[in-house]
């Protein structure tokens, strides 16, 4: 998930809200609904890891975890 945060932070430098972003190591693409600060991405990552730790039994691959994090970010973006 740290790689996803870094990739999204980098992508925001050249992308605009509404652009679809590919993240290395993930199969899903992320629609950048708005610009996230690095601090906000880190807070969301921490919240996601807390939820994922409870929900997952440790069998998720890195790709699956990254895809779940992108889905979580998409859901959070639609709530704001």
Residue from 29, 37, 30, 34 nearest 17 by CA: 34
Helices marked H in the chain: 2-11, 38-55, 62-79
pTM here? Answer: 0.81
- The answer to whether 17 and 34 are in contact (CB under 8 A) is yes
pLDDT at 57 over 70: no
* Cα separation, 40 vs 35, whole angstroms: 10
Across the range 18-35, mean pLDDT stands at: 92
- Which pLDDT does position 61 carry in this prediction? 82
What CA–CA distance (Å, rounded) separates 9 from 41?
8
What is the reported pLDDT for 52?
81
């Amino acid at each position: 998930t740290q790689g996803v945060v870094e990739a999204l932070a980098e992508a925001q430098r050249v992308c605009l809200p509404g652009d679809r972003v590919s993240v290395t190591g993930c199969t899903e693409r992320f629609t950048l609904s708005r610009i996230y600060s690095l601090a906000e991405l880190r807070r969301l990552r921490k919240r996601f890891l807390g939820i994922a730790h409870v929900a997952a039994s440790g069998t998720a691959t890195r790709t699956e975890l990254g895809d779940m994090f992108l889905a979580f970010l998409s859901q959070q973006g639609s709530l704001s």
